[in-house]
Amino acid sequence: MQIKILWADDEIDLLKPHILFLESKGYEVVAVNNGSTAVDRSSEQDFDIVFLDENMPGITGLEALTRIKQEKPHVPVVMITKSEEEYIMEEAIGSNIADYLIKPVNPNQILLSIKKIIEKSKLVSQKTNSNYQQEFRELGMQLNSRLDLDEWFEVYDKLVYWELKLNDIEDQGMKEILEMQKKEANTQFSKFIENEYLNWLNGVEEAPEMVHTLFKNKINPKLDEEDVFVLVIDNLRYDQWKMLRPIFAKYYKVNEEEMIYSILPTATQYARNAFFAGMMPSDIAKKHPQFWKGEEDEGGKNMFEKELLEVQLKNLKRDAKFSYNKITNLSAGKKLADNFNQLLSNQLNVIVYNFVDMLSHARTEMEVIKELAGDESAYRSLTVSWFEHSPLHDIVKKIASSGKRLIITTDHGTVRVNNPVKIVGEKSTNTNLRYKTGRSLSYKDKDVFQVKDPQEGFLPKTSINSEYVFARDQDFFVYPNNYNHFVHYYNDTFQHGGISLEELIIPYVDLSPK
């Protein structure tokens, strides 16, 4: 389709060579010599781009710009001027121009401006596709080698980078290839975890930083330096953090941005309690049974996070004045924002925000949320939209204004599931779709990662003969009874508890206010 250009300049006759040059490149140019005619033509016809001389007699370029934008706000307008006065630039930029050029302009400047504005999407798409094709081969070679835990961070970081990059272009072909490569990566990562995870926990091999060691090793030392806010956003994936990062960058500089490993099961009951206690679930159940709720127990499983944090601070010999706030609804978030100044006398403030976890569950249960977060891209966008309009955004800005350090992390991520795996268990077996624990579980060994002895995985036993099994990749467990119904209901939903890059590799970010 031919690009149509409107060019208004009171000396338009002198620009005839420029117009002929653009026409030779395949563009259609409508030339006028005053602002009033430019406004009329813009009203009568649709143009892909408008060039306006700022200093025209009668209606000036700025006035014409305002009138054109009132009627057609989305048409890109390039302002051309002899003047370099700052107020003119500010007026033009404030009126949402697409580009600003200083006379005299040459034909190539005009051509570059057109390509930058009109053809940018196509050019970026071509370049992005080309770059990913090269990266695809390199990632493929990496995935065929024996990766260590740091190399898995590198691979996942690259996959997330390209997922976000390809999301911005119209061409769907490369996105499909990336999805296939990400699936292959998750298959290889699951094998890696099955080979290494229990060795890490039992001291056979050196363990990475994990969610149960995070507070002791990374956060506690910072309390010797200054007051700290710790924000735990439940279920925050690494790709979601990357989408939120530009918002935080308005108020903070990044001191550290790292990945750490969660624990199995990648579920709040286990991973978040481990974070607050500074110990694995079986140790919590053994040493502090009053603060541990098992799978068979009624009620919430994370009701003692503050008490577990007190235990950890005591074990670390850290006598710090601290606050703990768990936000599970809008009114609680607004209340905390309103009472923010009360937190400033504390050495440590911990805020647990549950929205992202609730979003993933709501997407399973509510059709309207399922439509709003139809795929990975929409799920990320919905997270960003929520944050921008949430009380948490206000709280984050207030933390920055107070000059306090902010640490952001989570307990686990979540993965979109699409492959049902049959399993049979007793009535008392837990309901999570990504892990099962109990006795007399029946399944195909090849379909799961088994921890036959819960003690080896530092997990509480639900009975004498109980075990844990974990779903991999994008699998989810389904009972044979009403199999088709539950496959349809849970297919393409976001779940957590098992083994995947998205669930196990989580962000840790240390920020200082600008």
Q: Which residues contact 430 (CB under 8 A, 6 or more apart)?
A: 295, 436, 437, 438
**Is residue 207 one of the residues assigned to a domain?**
no
Q: Is position 208 within any domain?
A: no
| Residues 234 and 358 grouped into a single domain | yes
Residue 53 lies in a domain: yes
What pLDDT shows up at residue 366? Answer: 64
Judge whether residue 132 has pLDDT over 90. Answer: no
299 located within any domain: yes
Give dist(CA 125, CA 170) in Å, integer. Answer: 7
Does this model's pTM top 0.95?
no
Helix segments in 95-172, DSSP class H: 107-117, 120-143, 149-167
Helix (H) or strand (E) holding 4: strand 4-8
Q: Is residue 209 part of a domain?
A: no
Mean pLDDT is lowest, of 30-34, 254-258, 415-419, 428-432, for 428-432
pLDDT recorded at residue 24 = 94
Same domain, 57 and 165: no
Which pLDDT value is given to residue 55?
A: 86
Task: Give the tokens for residue 224.
Answer: 């010797």
3-state class (DSSP) for residue 411: coil
Residue 319: what are its φ and ψ, rounded to 5°?
-95, 80
How many Å separate Cα 328 from the centre of its chain? 20
- Of the three residues 67, 95, 118, the one that is the final residue of a domain is 118
Q: Which residues pair with 258 in a beta bridge?
A: 508
Least confident of 54-63, 129-138, 249-258, 419-428: 129-138
Tell me: do 194 and 96 sit in the same domain.
Answer: no
pLDDT tens figures, 246-280: 999 999 999 999 999 999 999 999 999 999 999 99
Q: 223 and 75 share a domain?
A: no
- Within 13 Å of residue 212, how many CA atoms lie on the same side as its CB? 23
Residue 396 lies in a domain: yes
Q: Are 455 and 286 in contact (CB under 8 A)?
A: no
Q: Which two tokens stand for residue 77?
A: 């307008």
Same domain, residue pair 288 and 424:
no
Q: 293 with 185, same domain?
A: no
Residue 283: inside a domain: yes
Residue 343: pLDDT band with limits 50, 70, 90: very high
CATH number for the domain that contains residue 236: 3.40.720.10
Is residue 208 packed enough to be buried (19+ CB in 10 Å), middle (13-18) or exposed (0-12)? middle
Which pLDDT band holds residue 484 (cuts at 50, 70, 90)? very high
- Percent of the chain at pLDDT > 90 equals 67
Last residue of a domain, one of 118, 134, 154: 118
Return the pLDDT at 439.
87
CATH number for the domain spanning 106: value is: 3.40.50.2300
Return the DSSP state at 105: P
Banded pLDDT at 85 (limits 50, 70, 90): low
Question: How many other C-beta atoms lie within 10 A of the C-beta of residue 202?
Answer: 13
Whether the CB-CB separation of 448 and 441 falls below 8 Å is answered with no
Residue 221 and residue 329 in one domain? yes
Q: Are 349 and 322 in contact (CB under 8 A)?
A: yes
pLDDT at residue 377 above 90?
no
Query: pLDDT tier at 129 (50, 70, 90 boundaries)?
Result: confident
Residue 89 has pLDDT above 90, yes or no: no
- Percentage above 70 pLDDT, the chain: 93
On whether both 273 and 363 belong to a single domain, the answer is: yes
CA distance 131 to 74: 30
Instruction: Give the structural domain span for 114.
Output: 4-118
pLDDT digits (tens, 9 = 90+) for 358-374: 676 666 666 666 666 66
- 490 falls within a domain: yes
pLDDT tens for each residue of 178-215: 899 999 999 999 999 999 999 999 999 999 999 999 99
Residue 514, H or E segment? none
Give the pLDDT score at 18: 94
pLDDT digits (tens, 9 = 90+) for 205-249: 999 999 999 999 999 999 999 999 999 999 999 999 999 999 999
pLDDT tens readout for residues 67-82:
998 888 889 999 898 8
The pLDDT score that the predictor gives to residue 135 is 83
CA angle centred on 314, ends 308 and 320, rounded to 5°: 100
Number of domains making up the chain: 4
Does one domain contain both 170 and 221?
Answer: no
Q: Which residues are 477's β-sheet partners? A: 421
Residues 173, 279 share a domain: no
Among 171, 201, 231, residue at a domain's last position:
201
Q: Are residues 260 and 306 in the same domain?
A: yes
Task: Clarify whether residues 366 and 237 are in a common domain.
Answer: yes
CB atoms within 10 A of CB 451: 22
